Amino acid sequence: MSRSLFCILTVFLFVIPLFSENRTPREIFIENKIESIRKEEIYKERNWLTLLHYEKVSENKYRSYADGDSFFFSPSGKTNPTLELEVSLRILSKDEALTDLSVECVFPARFHWMRERFSIDPNLFPVPSCPKFEKFHNQMKAQSLSVVFAAFHPEHPASLFGHTMLKFNSGTQEAEELEDVIVTYAAIIPGIIDPFSYVFKGLSGNFPGSFEIQKYKYKIYEYNEYENRSLWEYKLNIDERGIERIIRHLWEMQKNHFDYYFFDENCSFRILTLLDVGDPELRLSDRKKFLVQPADTIKLMAAQKTYYRK
C-alpha cells in the first residue's frame, strides 16, 4: 500500500468520524434537511416564496419585496431564497431559547411552515412558549376574513382610487362587530411635507409602508363620519388554516417594512400578498400591473372565486 493511500484511509477511518462525533443530533438532523433543499428544490415552493415575499424576476433569480434588513437571516436573503432557507434551518439548530427570545417567537409563520415541511421532531426541537405572540394571536383570532373597500377621497392623492383593508371577523353578534380587528397598509408620511415632495416620494418608493392594526369602529368613524366615504365589505373564502397563517405572518411584519408606491406596491397589492400567504395557490399578487387599483383587486378576487358578497 502506498504512503499516500494509507494517509487517505487514515483520514476517512479516524479523522472524519472524530469530527462527526462532535456534531449534535440537532445539527445532524438539520444538515440532512439542508441537503434536501437543493435536491428537491424546496426553496422554490410557493409557501416559502410567499412567506418571504419573493417574486421571480428571471430563470432561477428572485427578489423579495421586503425592504427591512432584520426580516432576513442571510445577508443575501433578499435575493437568495435558497440560502435564506438554509440559514434559517441552521439558526433553528442553534436556538435553545424557549421563551419570547426564541427566533420562532419572532418569526412564527416561517418556522411553523418549516416544522411541518421538514417534519421537525418537537422532542428534538422543543416548541417554545411565546406569550407576546399568543396575546397578539388572541386579539386577532377570527372565524372568517373580509376585504373592506373604501370609496375614493378627492383630497387625498394616495386615496384617489379608494382603499382596501382586511377585516378579521370574530363571528360574534352584529352589535359586537365594531370590536372586530381591521388591518390596513399605508405609507408612513412625516407630519409636514410639501405637495411636490409628497407626490415625488409616493411615486418613487421613498416612503416606507407598514401594516397597521386597529378596531373596526375607528375606521368606520374615520371613513363614514369624518371623511364621508362609503364602505363595502366582501367576505372571503379563506379557511381556518389560512387565517392562522396570515395572523402569524402579520406578527412577523413588525420586523419589516416595504417601500410604498402609490400606483402599484400600495394598500391593495399588500392585501393581495397577505391573502397569498393564507392560500399560496391563489397567486393573486402574481397578477400585479403597472396600476393596482383597489377596485381592480375586488374584481380579481371575484374572478378567482375567493370571496362572496356579504
**Reported pTM:** 0.86
pLDDT top residue among 121 and 190: 121
pLDDT top residue among 87 and 269: 87
Amino acid (1-letter code) at residue 125? F
What mean pLDDT is predicted for residues 233-250? 94
Residues of the chain with pLDDT > 90, as a percent, come to 52
For cell 409602508, the residue is 209
DSSP assignment of 217-285: HHHHIIIIIIS---EEEEEE---HHHHHHHHHHHHHGGG--EEE-SSSSSHHHHHHHHHHHH-GGG--G
Rg (CA), the chain: 23
143-157, 235-249, 259-273, range with greatest mean pLDDT: 235-249
Split at pLDDT 50, 70, 90, the class of 21 is: low
Residue 18: its pLDDT value, please?
A: 42
Does 45 have pLDDT greater than 70? yes
What does the alpha-carbon distance between residue 225 and residue 230 come to, in Å, rounded to a whole number? 10
Q: Where are the domains of the chain?
A: 10-129, 138-309
pLDDT top residue among 175 and 255: 255
For the ranges 183-187, 192-196, 213-217, the lowest mean pLDDT is seen at 192-196
pLDDT digits (tens, 9 = 90+) for 143-162: 999 999 887 765 655 555 67
Residue 310: its pLDDT value, please?
A: 47
Sign of CA dihedral 128, 129, 133, 136: positive
**Angstrom distances, CA of residue 182 to CA of 149, 168, 302:** 12, 6, 21
